[in-house]
Structure 1
Amino acid sequence: MRWKGREESSNVDDRRGGGGSRVPRAGVRAGGSLGIGGVVAILLLSWVTGISPLELLGALEEGGSPPAGQHQTTAERPAGEDELARFVSVVLADTENTWTQLMQAEGRDYPEPRLVLFTDYVPSACGQASSATGPFYCGADQQIYIDLSFYRQLSRELGAPGDFAQAYVLAHEVGHHVQNVLGILPEYQRVRRSLSEADANALSVRVELQADCLAGVWAHHAARQQGFVEDGDVEEALNAASRIGDDTLQREAQGYVVPESFNHGTSAQRARWFREGFRSGDMGSCDTFNARRL
């Protein structure tokens, strides 16, 4: 991506450097969207404890604060992280422009989300979360939370390098904000309380795949801008979508897959729905809830 020198968003709240001790948690309260890092942590914890991923998710969603007695520390920023902060600010600004225009075409307003950059742990309206949560969206405060160290994990541990892979992750969380604006996310949170474990997982998959598709819609419009998206960028996003599928994460974490526990979709599904959004550039193509085939 040729992003340097482009407009940056004014909706970035940089809380890095305030420090904080690491909190070994992986979840946020109901109302938030569990991040990719949180999915990995829950799968690993499930493998060790034998407890189902959904039960662990339910327990972690109760939230909590850092353990008493843990002291604040000053975090030292890794080299290159400030440039990465500018990069995500540029991507966020582009999503703002894209979704404002698309929403206006539908006769809707688009309240822009805020992006919170943090180190180690962060309080949100969806509960206290640590860097292990990974990037996540909290519908209760309409904010996206990212510890930029996650992008190192994305590249080195999950096998998804590249700046457009990083942009895809942010665009996916923005997709959850779009769902919130449209009323989809609040309805999902309401309905899932009355569902069985299997049905709640199945509904979660459709929510997450729709966010992947909406990320593809943004990528479609980003690619139409001269000099912004380069050759190979979309392939980076598709690779990232594939690397964070439930089946791939489970197979790498525990050596086998448990399809009934999937809550984000398989690698093939995630790549397919990102590709669908990228192909059409139309959020109307992202109706995963009525799709016969995911």
Structure 2
Amino acid sequence: MDPDDSTGPAGADHPERAPAPAGRRRPRWLPVAIAVAASLLMLATVVVVSDVVSGDGDTASGITPAADPSAPDSAATALRDSEAQLATVDCEPGELRPGRDAARAYYREVLDCLDRAWQPVYDRMGVRPQPASVDVADVRTTECGELPPADRALGLYCDADHTIHLPYSRLTTAVGGTDEPAFLATLAHEYGHHVQALTGVFTETGNAMSDADGAAESEVGRRFELQATCFAGLFLDAARDTGLAGPSGGPEVAVQDFANWSGGESHGGARLQQQWATTGFTGDSVAACDTWSARAADIGGAGEWSGGSSSPASP
């Protein structure tokens, strides 16, 4: 984590903080980092940060969020124990073409696939349907507050209105306008945060971050981000026999795109991004994506987080 305030656990980086008065809401971010590989840009490696923006959205399930996602009575544990499976979907979006309108249309078609694929999980968890929307505009503010600067944010999810913000100019600067696997991987990851928000995991992550600092806070963030990547892998598996990711590949290509992500402190780095995307792609249910009980070595960093404290890593 790279906190940008000095107000303690209730500062701008903590999603559980109550909203500021209308018109003066401060941004509250769960910082995460994506580094786009040089092979995508054909330039020197460029680091782009993707922040998850949190507002005052409520969980859509009947589960009361716990103090942290690793607790036995947490929403994250209930989600794991449900062993819910995604529905296989026939997803054939139109070709991704250059231009903001074309990207918006592509995203909306894939969002429909994501909603359909995740519906059995929502049903199992008793989640009220709340479809996500996507905004490709270069907006400066969201329902969760100010967007981070362009050099810090590639994509972000706001739980207050369930909107995935993917400013078109930012993604095209990083990967170009028609790199379908990169567009797809980013959208599927951000939708993973939507799943976390609806099931209560998003709020629990904020609760855990409010009680942690330094390395422990970073570790909570990595578990949160790597679970979203694993959820992306689950979706790509559910759509593996369709035309996603373009005629030259398929969902497997989008899974491989996670190997181009880095940001060790926030996302776990390229190796772990690839590992968890593959875990979801080869997993049978949401239980495969239980990053909250995974060993420290599988989520990066030297510390092992439990209940807001950190300890030396096991041998």
Same fold (TM over 0.5): yes
Residue type matched to 1:137 in 2? Y
Distance in 2, matches of 1:34 and 1:137, equals 11
SS in 2 for 1:29: coil
Q: Which residue of 1 is the match for residue 233 of structure 2? A: 216
Q: Which residue of 2 is the match for residue 126 of structure 1? A: 144
Q: Which residue of 1 is the match for residue 288 of structure 2? A: 285
Q: Which residue of 2 is the match for residue 149 of structure 1? A: 169
Distance in 1, matches of 2:231 and 2:29, equals 19
- The structure where helix makes up a greater share of residues is 1
Give, in angstroms, the shift of residue 87 of structure 1.
1.0
Question: 1:209–1:288: 8 Å Cα contact kept in structure 2?
Answer: yes
Distance in 2, matches of 1:273 and 1:235, equals 13
Distance in 2, matches of 1:149 and 1:189, equals 29
Distance in 2, matches of 1:228 and 1:166, equals 11
Give, in angstroms, the shift of residue 233 of structure 1.
3.0
Say if 2:45 is the partner of 1:29: no
Question: 1:33–1:138: 8 Å Cα contact kept in structure 2?
Answer: no
Matches within 5 A, 1:207-286: 207-225=224-242, 227-228=243-244, 230=247, 232-247=249-264, 262-286=265-289
Matches within 5 A, 1:178-193: 178-193=195-210
Q: How many residues align?
A: 217
Give, in angstroms, the shift of residue 101 of structure 1.
3.0
SS in 2 for 1:40: strand
SS in 1 for 2:161: coil
User: Where does the alignment leave 5 or more consecutive residues of structure 2 unmatched?
Assistant: 1-25, 37-45, 55-96, 299-315
Q: Which residue of 1 is the match for residue 47 of structure 2? A: 40
Distance in 2, matches of 1:235 and 1:137, equals 24
Q: Which residue of 2 is the match for residue 11 of structure 1? A: none
User: Where does the alignment leave 5 or more consecutive residues of structure 1 unmatched?
Assistant: 1-27, 44-56, 62-77, 248-261
TM-score by length of 1: 0.65
Matches within 5 A, 1:15-26: none
Residue type matched to 1:122 in 2? R
TM-score by length of 2: 0.61
Pick one of 194, 218, 235 that aligns with 1:201: 218
Give, in angstroms, the shift of residue 126 of structure 1.
1.9
Pick one of 100, 105, 109 that aligns with 1:90: 109
Question: 2:239–2:251: 8 Å Cα contact kept in structure 1?
Answer: no
Residue type matched to 1:276 in 2? T
Kindly report the root-mean-square deviation, in angstroms, between the aligned alpha carbons of the 2 structures.
3.1
Question: 1:168–1:215: 8 Å Cα contact kept in structure 2?
Answer: yes
Matches within 5 A, 1:61-140: 80-119=99-138, 121-129=139-147, 130-132=149-151, 133-140=153-160
Give, in angstroms, the shift of residue 143 of structure 1.
1.5
